[in-house]
Structure 1
Amino acid sequence: MKVSMRSRVGWNVIRDGLTLPERARLYRATPGCFTADVTRAERILAHWGDLMGRDLETGVDDRLEDLNLQAVDLPKIVGDIDPSAASYLPDAIWMEVCGEVLSWEGPNDEHGIPTATFLSGAGEAKIPFEHALVAWVEVATERLRIRRPEIDDELPVEVLRSEQRGLMEGLAIFARDSNVDDFSRARVGAYDGNDFAMGMLMAEPPCDVYRRVIRGMTGSAMADWMGRYPALARLLAMRVESWARAMGELLARVDMDRDLIARVFNQGDDPGMLTEARLGRGDSHNGGRSVAMLRFADGLRLVYKPRSLSIDQSSRSLFAVMNDGLDPSFRIELPNCVDRGRYGWSEFIEPGPCADQREVETFHRRMGVLLGMVHLLQGNDFHLENVIAHGDMPVPIDLETISVPSAIIRTESDDFEDPAAEVIASSVLGTLLLPAAMSIGNQRDLRQFGALRVEMPGALQIRKIQKLIQVNTDFQRWVKVPDDTRTRPNSEPWIDGEDLIDAAEYQDETIEGYRHFHEASRNRKPAILEALAVLEDAWVRILNRATNVYFRLLLESCDSSLMRSGIDRWIHLQRLFLSISPSETEESARSLSSVANAEVDALFDGDIAYFTTRGGGKKYFTIESVSGDQIELPGSLLGKSARDCVIDQIDRMTPEDMELQISLQGDAYRSTFISLSSLMHGVADGTAPGEDDPDTEIDASEAELRRLLTSSLGSLADSRLMSGDLASWIGLDMDSVREVVTPTALSCDLYSGRGGLAVLFEKAYRVLGDHRWLELARSALEIELAGYRRHGDDSPLLQCPPDGVGVRAGAIAGLWTIGRHEGMGDCRDLARRLATKISERVVRRDETYDLISGSSGMILLLLGLDEEETIPGVLEVVGRLADHLVAHQVDDSGPSWNAFKGERSVCGIGHGRSGSGLALLAAGAKLDRVDLRRLGLAVLHGEHSLRCDSPEDAWPDFRGVRRGSTETPPSGSTAWCNGTEGIALARAAALRIVDDPILRDDLEFALVGANQMPTTKRFHLCCGRAGRVETLGSLKRLLPEIDLIDPVLAARAMVRAIDDPGSNFGLHGPGLFQGRAGAIWAGLSLLDSEDSDLLLLRV
């Protein structure tokens, strides 16, 4: 290392940029240089424990042991370090780069702001705070020139400038939060609201504050800036070195392979100079390496991949064998490629249109074949960016995940695996070729990521996106604007001049292609098995987690509060260790820990973690950042090789398996459509019964109701998958917060999972008297019972956060109801354990607070159980949950909670004020705490203040409305979850606790909308007709004196939906709140008017 460069970096930057393991190594070398900081150590331990989500003894202590650290040494390790320790500190490239940046002396403009040719010019999109990054990009360029002195002869000026801007864009993303924080503080008091309003109209807003902030980040102020953000300085330095190395490596390889490129890809002609590179625009791995899209002077386009292309070449061999059994019109083509060991070159596939409708149909048949091929090879990650629509041919362009190993390490004692999860794990859904919706961040911003896409009606497609406007001026700010652009991804076929193509309209063609491949391959199993030999030595990628999971955590670690300390940023990345359950075997835990450490190291340096292995191997390898060599990861082990996974899949290929996979394909289309069109709260099926259907013609007699209920319960039972005594279902899992629907193995949650089904079957036993329903209820939760029998309090179930209809609530409610009956005492015992073992750390994991997903729901559930049978210790938990609500209240037209981050606090019982206010009132009454009763009443009064003028408008719906927004929210919802039904129910329950005139006025107001026949075509429990039946029944039990509509009318409205096997009534999947189970529940309630109040979480 150049000592002079390192010496320019302040000791405070070096000291505070170190990670915890680096400090620990330095402490072992020179302990006398460390001064203990007990307060900081306690803060770090508490925060670390919260991130781990487990009790301290089984969370942080495990990690300290892995790091060979003692908790008693932690105060010194995290404390101050005397500068004399520097001589014991190994050289590090990031320190050298920081020194070079501090030494850079470049030109400034008349305002003292750095200038450079790669800064944004006229017509170019400005990069936020780009002037602050000039020195970093200049140092990176100088480092590249040292590696490639001939760069000016290799790259035209405009190509180098484009790559410099690409680097600057990446650096800007990492520095964004810290820069925005500095800018926001500097802008305080400089302008008022009128100034900002006027600024919207200015062609050239002022830049005085922006320039002052830039001057505070550059030049002579750079050292102080690094002192404030040492972890950010380190990250930027690592990205600078990574870019220079990766760019130099690419240019050297182009130069070395020029003849090969000409021969294989350009008919022997030299392609000339590079005129485009676009390095680093995709995911960065292994020391900044990424795919580059190259263009040469003669027009040749080529894809550079900084990894072994052995799997790409093996895939060409395998696809040739699989194609041999297909009709020529169904065969799939792959790009030509050359493997060069550590890297390779691949043919560039240009997206191209279909000529006509016939070619569109051919495309989808071939997409079905591609789905079959990827599924047979147990590949994944073939999302919309990894398939190109090239006329009537879907071409997969990234084959590193065409065949992947399994990371799950099985043991002989694994006797309670979820049978539905086993099916899903190896199903077509894992390919990512099928339609799928994904929630971005913590909000309900949904995107499609499957290679096949459904196109929604125009009005439903419009979403809002965050956009930075008036960039690099004093008035720059984020605004939310409609995104009505309907960009066609490269995986979607098209016909020039015609509308976007909806893959759902060609589902039959896709299934035809899949069926053709499946049947042909079943007849050629020996040939395919023999061809698998090419997988043995090919390098395949291991995908432990989705790339978006890594990227989201990487961005989280760039929060300005974490950029002030390498320890804090490193601790935040320890969230990756959450995947290591206390119930793991020693061998599995050791392997997962080794992998997680490698993931943390990659993300800390700004890379997406990358692992690889041989197709026939079971060892993890990483790629060494400097050499690019594959290095075995010590202590790591895979459960099954990629080749063995393929063999298992070939064994599974039967006619029955084919029909199951085709059914799951339908689920993928249906769930994506439901998610994107908000059909969790509606139904768009034109075949749904209309309101002019004569209810009087429906047989709603008790005998007919019992017949329909028995038949529908039997259908639910028949759809289960069994493994011994364990029952499980494949269904549509509903994320009730993000409103995303996914076909998957059902969890034990109450909303759409097995917990809800267990509660339903137990109720069926009580109402209908058939013991098989009780047996089925128990089998629905036998997975959880078996897990607890084996792992005790280390069971992951006990680490689930508190909620009202989620996993913990589903397990508690289901086990409690089953435990009412003779011979089921173990169920009641585990329910009590789950209800009382909710530590403060587990409570803090609740960040939604509401009835559906948070502490409010758990309070009501636990109080209901305790009312039925006293549970020692449960009231202490209720108090802890209530205090959590008190501590996290916000003021938004009265006390409330932000269930959706960044949005207004909502009204209603499900996610809003009614549910939390009622929970606090109930907790205050039971615990005799005046503070809780007062707060609960204040919450409900605040909701009252938001009430609209007429019962038809009811209360405003603030879902999706950002804090500080001036937009007028919609109103008039009558649903249980967010409208007048739920508010009426909450007021009726609250009036049983406290007689308050405002609550009574709200009840009378809400009953105008709730006490009438529903007109919706939705029949589910959450906010459809089943929910109305339940609401009316609960209201009648709570307030017998109120005048309600005839329950017979409600019965007639429900009968049609009880035994519907399809989705004609807006019932999605088997679950309780959105699926068929909810309609059955409402039907059972009609036979037992004194039954539980489920919508108040009383089971």
Structure 2
Amino acid sequence: MSMVSEKWLSLFNNIEDDEQLDEFLKTTSGDSLQDWEEKFLQYEQWGKDYIERELGTILYDEYNPQEKLRVSIHWLDLFKPICFKYLERLTSFLNKAQCITNTNEFILDIESVFFEICMNMSYRTVVLEINDLRRASRLKGEDSKKRYNYFINTLLKDRDYILEFYKKYPVLFELLDKKISNILDYIEQIILNFEENLLDLESYFNYKDLKLSSIDFNAGDTHSNGKSVCILRLNTKKKLVYKPRNMSIDVNLSLFSKEFAHRFGLSESLFVPKTLSKDSYSFVEFIEEKECNSLQEVEAYYTNMGKLLAFLHIFGAKDYHGENILACQEYPYLIDNETILHFSEPVNITSNSQNIYNFVTNSVYSVGILPMSLYSANNDKGMEIGALNSGERRESPYLSHQLANVGTDEIRIEKVFKMVGDFPSTVRYKGNNVSCSNYLNEVQRGFETIYKVVLQNRDIVSRMIVKYFENCETRYIYRNTNVYAQFLETSHHPELLKNKYDFEMYLLRLFEYGDVANFFDNVMMKDEVCQFRKGDIPIFYANTSSNEIRNGLGRYICSLDGHSIVNKVLNRITSLSDDNLLRQKRIINMAFMGSELFPKKSRISEEHTNTETITSNIINRISSAKFEFNTEISWLSMVAMNKNYEIYPMDYSLYSGTSGMILGITSIDDTRLRTLLPGVINYTNNYIKELQGNFPVHQLGAFTGVYGYLYTLCVLREEGTPFVEDIEEIIYETLSSTFRHLRNIDNLDIIGGLAGILGVLIKIQKTMLDSSRVTELTQKLSEGVVQKILEKYKKDGFWIENDPGYAHGNYGIITQLYRYSLSNTCKSDAKTSIISCIKEYLDKERSLLCGKNCFPLRNNVKYYSWCNGIVGIVNAKNYLETNEFPDKFLKTEVQDYSNKILNQDSTLDNSICHGSIGNLVILDSILGYSVDIENRIATESSSYLLDKETYECDDWGILTGEMGILMANDRKSRTRLNDILLLN
């Protein structure tokens, strides 16, 4: 292995040696590793010769850029050779142009653009160079600032040093030269197109005596040889947007909107800027952001957003985040419609989870308008990106580069989280951003209006789709633009700019992110590399009728299989229904909920429906919301935390997944529910099988992971439920596959940690007495878990600091430890240690509580709740007391706390986990039957159900959803619900 190939291997994740690299290079480039190494060695000299030739022909010494640029770009002199070369050409071109207001000012503006581009592409290399020079003692001066000034004022003005720098980094010079050359070509093209269409522009936009004052290039990425969206500033103080592509789809969208409004007696609902579209470029009306003049306009804006969401959903649009919609009073303007008609790959669906994922992918969730966040798991940060948003300041969840110690020879690049500006889609009123949180009803109203019009007039709308959108050009998204941007940024690393074949090798890294053997992937990735080579973000377009894919220069790439984009839109229209409308409205509500932008609840009613009506309604709702595929049944689900959420198929968990649904269904004597059971069990079993024993540590827990499924299997076995075969085998294989993971779990709580797993192991030990291999493995696992939990207490004097709560705190651990101490497999020394730890904990607690009215819980919890509040603690104490834990105070404490809980007003949350109904279920198990508790459960359930019917959402599980409420209204199920909470 040579030093060169060793360096190249470090660029790849999946190529481990020279042999693999050689095969990879032959497949992707047609050349062998040996060929590449030879080219690398040849370039070592060729690169230096290239710089000698190029710099020797540019007479830039007398050229002085405008001085004000030095404030933001200290290294102007480094870029003078390149910028001077192309500014000379621009000057020559402008001398012939007739449409420029002031040639000198125009050139100065373009000069700024050129230098900024050079700065952005080379700052990492220059920072490294300054530090290299400092370490080599080549910078003169008494202090850090003077040495930096020596670099600026002496070295960068020395032609020999400029030559030395670019000989060291010849690829940087080549990239800068190509980039500025392409930008200049583009500027000349814009001016020629402006002059050629001058009369049309004046007529179409109603302007007179038009001239071009300047061009702003800050409006987007470059594609197709340096082209980007830019703003044309005119002599009339007006602006036009110049887009380097045909925009017939925008023109037709506007025509479609007008006909739709006229046919169905509506006001216009799609707001598109006026567009003069040509073969390969377009001039577009510049829409100014304007705030609303009244709250009525704010309401109208959000109603229009709902209408827009319906259209975009029906079109199958993607990527309509906050940058692509602009708020102009009550009108949400569509300012980037490249993805309004989106090609989606054919999907081979083999399971219900795939079926549900496919539904979500094609739902309103994927349009981009709804509140949602861009989340970085690495940094545990999220940022709003939805066109509907809170209007709050945004901080990027990704680290960006920023120069530090500027003005010194210790200049460096640091990574920071940068603030990001407001979205243009955020509506404003009286100088303030207006959150969408109070306008969910308006969004829903607008959405339903358009959806129903299309539903009731399918044939007419379908003909309109064909009329306006056949054979249009639309963006084809092969890869996320953020991935492209990051890849391009990294390609400017200094170590890749010394030899062209280092740079080229890095570009081939792209082939790791696709299937080289697949013809489509292969041709697409080769074209991506070609576009990156020019410093552009790759871009592709599809024909809406033929599925032909072309790159931004119009070069044919290939044709895609499957229905055309237009046919897929027609199929979407055919699939519209009242049931689907309800599903979409649920997702809209869930997006607002998950982003914590949901309207604040109020107590709706204190009257209650009778229990039979409540249970019947919930059963009907659960049944009608199911997704069925082949022999599998499941539901949609959502997980949300810290304003970040995800909508996906229900998992197999006990907390909110199908394990909990199975326990709910089997505890209620209802034929409608029982017919669902085989399908739900099939879904759960298949879901588990697909994982093939590869359970991440965070998906092992009793309530959030696979151990909850094992708990459910034990309950089914105890009941003799006939739908699951090989329960013993499933349990044994799962225990075996997770054995090694248990050592790596630091979380001790009952929800996702070791205490919950211990609770399930106790259940298995009790249920599987006829299987010696299961019980032996269970005992071994239990002993290890208990030892780890006890060691933690002995070391720290607590299990979880400052959190006595049940779900994530000490009382969940205490309960399962005591349960274990009662089992036949618990050894006497372990039992003694458990009793001792619990007694010591209770003594400390009472000492701490002396004279206090409130139990000290962790921060930001609901005091009266099962999960983290006092209710879960009382339930745990009650378990200890009823199972004869040796403590004389428990009975009184349970009685006193239970009475306090009973006398509390109801909360706005009614769920089992952290709401009123869960509290009442636990009180019922402690205090026994009472008419008062029964009535209160019915009242709270009525309120819950009315709230759900008002704001529909997919929330069906037992701890936060409707199955839990259903179980609370059935006495037999209520007992099971409490058993689940305790893992009995």
1:329 match: secondary structure: coil
- 8 Å Cα contact 2:881-2:891 kept in structure 1: no
Out of 565, 569, 583, the position equivalent to 1:642 is 565
Q: CA deviation at 1:685?
A: 0.7
* 1:615 and 2:544 aligned: yes
Given that 1:540 and 1:613 are in contact with CA atoms closer than 8 Å, whether structure 2 keeps it comes out as: yes
In structure 2, the residue matched to 1:735 is: 640
Contact 2:254 2:270 (C-alpha < 8 Å) held by counterparts? no
CA contact (8 A) 2:388 2:426 kept: yes
In the alignment, is the contact (CA less than 8 A) between 1:12 and 1:227 conserved in 2?
Answer: no
Alignment partners' CA distance in 1, 2:550 and 2:311: 26
Counterpart CA distance in 2 for 1:14 and 1:37 is: 9
1:138-178 superposed Cα distances (whole Å, 9 cap, x missing partner): 576467548756488766365236535753785599899x9
Q: Which residue of the partner structure matches residue 330 of structure 1?
A: 268
How far does the alpha carbon of each residue in 1:160-210 deviate from its partner, in whole angstroms, 9 at most, with x for none?
36535753785599899x98x999x99xxxxxxxxxxxxxxxxxxx97699
Aligned to 2:595, the other structure's residue is in SS state helix
Give yes or no for the alignment of 1:160 onto 2:110.
yes
Structure 1, unaligned stretches of length 5 or more?
A: 1-10, 25-35, 42-60, 71-75, 108-113, 187-205, 581-585, 898-903, 958-969, 1037-1043
CA offset at residue 385 of structure 1?
1.7
Counterpart contact for 1:734–1:751, Cα < 8 Å: no
* Counterpart-to-counterpart distance in 2, 1:433 and 1:540: 19
TM-score (norm 1): 0.64
Say whether 1:427 aligns with 2:325: no
After superposition, where does 1:218-237 map in structure 2 within 5 Å? Answer: none
Q: Does 1:515 align with 2:435?
A: no
Question: Aligned residue for 1:1063?
Answer: 947
Answering whether residue 244 of structure 2 is matched by residue 244 of structure 1, we say: no
Aligned residue for 2:241, secondary structure, equals strand
Deviations 1:453-498 (A, max 9, x none): 4679xxxx99999998987489999999999x9x864324445568
Write out aligned runs for 1:969-980 (5 A): none
Aligned partner (choices 748, 753, 756) of residue 651 of structure 2: 748
Aligned to 2:584: 664
Change (3 A) 1:439 1:798: closer
Q: Return the alpha-carbon distance in structure 2 between the equivalents of residues 1010 and 563 of structure 1.
A: 71
Aligned: 1:676 with 2:596: yes
Alignment partner of 1:734: what SS?
A: strand
Q: What's the TM-score once normalised by structure 2's chain length?
A: 0.70
CA distance in 2, matches of 1:102, 1:878: 76
Q: Which residue of 1 aligns with 2:40?
A: 86
Distance in 2, Cα, partners of 1:21 & 1:539: 36
CA positional deviation for 1:381: 2.0
Secondary structure of the corresponding residue to residue 232 of structure 2 = strand
Deviation at 1:452, TM superposition (A): 3.5
Question: Contact (CA 8 Å) 1:759, 1:813: kept in 2 or not?
Answer: no
CA deviation map 1:713-769 (0-9, x unaligned): 4432233243453323345x0135x55345x4533252775xx2442333442x334
Q: Mapping of 1:1041-1060 within 5 angstroms?
A: 1054-1058=937-941, 1060=944
Secondary structure (helix, strand or coil) at the match of 2:945 reads coil
Shift of residue 1022, structure 1, vs aligned partner: 3.5
Question: In the aligned structure 2, how far is the partner of 1:663 from the partner of 1:360?
Answer: 26
2:557 to 598, 617, 632: 632
Pairing of 1:448-597 with structure 2 (within 5 A): 448-453=384-389, 472=406, 489-495=423-429, 500=434, 502=436, 504-505=438-439, 507-508=441-442, 511-512=445-446, 514-515=448-449, 518-519=452-453, 522-523=456-457, 525-526=459-460, 528-529=462-463, 531-532=465-466, 535-543=469-477, 547=481
Alpha carbons of 1:226 and 1:240: their partners in 2 closer, same or farther (altered >3 Å)? closer
Q: Note closer, same or farther for the CA distance 1:140–1:1019 as it changes in structure 2 (3 Å cut).
A: farther
Paired residue type of 2:220: G
Aligned CA-pair RMSD: 7.0
Counterpart Cα distance in 2 of 1:688 and 1:1066: 12
Residues 1:720 and 2:720 aligned together: no
Given residue 363 of structure 2, which amino acid in structure 1 is its aligned partner?
S
Counterparts of 2:920 and 2:52, CA distance in 1: 67
Question: Per-residue deviation at 1:397?
Answer: 1.3
Counterpart of 1:386 in structure 2 is 324
SS of equivalent to 1:1063: helix
Following the alignment from structure 2 to structure 1, what is the Cα–Cα distance between the partners of residues 960 and 842? 26
State which drifts further: 554-563 or 351-360. Answer: 554-563
Higher CA-based Rg: 2
Which residue in the other structure is 2:912 paired with?
Answer: 1021
The Cα of 1:616 is off from its aligned counterpart by: 1.8
Question: Where does 1:657-1056 land on structure 2 (aligned, <5 Å)?
Answer: 660-661=580-581, 664-665=584-585, 667-669=587-589, 671-673=591-593, 675-676=595-596, 684-687=600-603, 708-709=614-615, 712-731=618-637, 733-736=638-641, 738-741=642-645, 744-750=647-653, 753=656, 756-765=657-666, 767-770=667-670, 773-780=673-680, 782-783=682-683, 785=685, 802-804=699-701, 805-806=703-704, 821-825=721-725, 836-837=736-737, 859-860=757-758, 863=761, 866-867=764-765, 868-869=767-768, 871=774, 952=854, 954-957=856-859, 1012-1013=900-901, 1016-1025=907-916, 1028=919, 1054-1056=937-939
For 1:427 and 1:630, the matched residues in 2 are separated by: 32
- What secondary structure does 1:687 align onto? coil
1:391-430 superposed matches below 5 A: 391-410=329-348, 414=350, 416=352, 420-430=356-366
Please give the alpha-carbon distance, in whole angstroms, between the structure 2 residues aligned to 1:102 and 1:854: 68
Task: Tell me by how many angstroms 1:257 deviates.
Answer: 0.5
- Structure 1 residues 362 and 104, CA gap change in structure 2 (3 angstroms): same
What do the CA deviations read for 1:367-416 (whole angstroms, capped 9, x no partner)?
A: 44433332332222222221223344332111111111111344xx8475
CA distance in 1, matches of 2:596, 2:712: 31
Offset from partner CA, 1:506-537 (integer Å, 9 cap, x none): 73476257525742674372464265255343
Distance 1:336 1:576, change over 3 A: same
Letter in 2 for 1:450: G
Compute the displacement of 1:322 (Å): 3.0
The answer to whether residue 156 in structure 2 is matched with residue 256 in structure 1 is no
Q: State how far apart, in whole Å, the 1-side matches of 2:561 and 2:817 are.
A: 48
Write the distance in 2 (CA, Å) between the matches of 1:604 and 1:1078: 57
Q: Offset of 1:632 from its aligned partner?
A: 1.0
Distance (Å, rounded) in 2 between the aligned partners of 1:807 and 1:601: 45
| Shift in alpha-carbon separation, 1:638–1:558, aligned structure 2, 3 A | farther
Distance 2:776 2:467 in 1: 60
The answer to whether the 8 A contact 1:849-1:856 is kept is: yes
Q: 1:641 Cα shift?
A: 2.3
Query: C-alpha distance in 1, partners of 2:945/2:149?
Result: 66
Q: Structure 1 residues 974, 523: CA separation in 2 closer, same or farther (over 3 Å shift)?
A: closer
Partners in 1 of 2:727 and 2:956 — Cα distance?
23
Give the Cα–Cα distance (whole angstroms) in 2 for the partners of residues 944 and 226 of structure 1: 74
Could you tell me how far apart the structure 2 residues matched to 1:806 and 1:758 are? Answer: 10
Provide the C-alpha distance between the structure 1 equivalents of 2:762 and 2:440, rounded to a whole number of angstroms. Answer: 50
Residue type at the aligned position of 2:640: D
Rounded to whole Å, the distance in 2 between the matches of 1:544 and 1:173 is: 30
Query: Counterpart in 1 of 2:211?
Result: 272
- SS at the partner of 1:507? helix
- Relative to structure 1, the CA distance from residue 764 to residue 273 in structure 2 (aligned partners, 3 Å threshold; closer, same or farther) is closer
* Aligned residues with identical type, % of pairs: 15
Q: Which residue of 1 aligns with 2:963?
A: 1077
1:89–1:574 Cα change, 3 Å:
same
Determine the C-alpha separation between the residues in 2 that align with 1:225 and 1:919.
Answer: 68
CA shift, 1:258, in A, is 2.0
Cα distance change on mapping 1:292 and 1:763 into 2, 3 Å: same
- Asked if structure 2 preserves the Cα contact closer than 8 Å seen for 1:102 and 1:223, the reply is no
Deviation at 1:979, TM superposition (A): 5.7
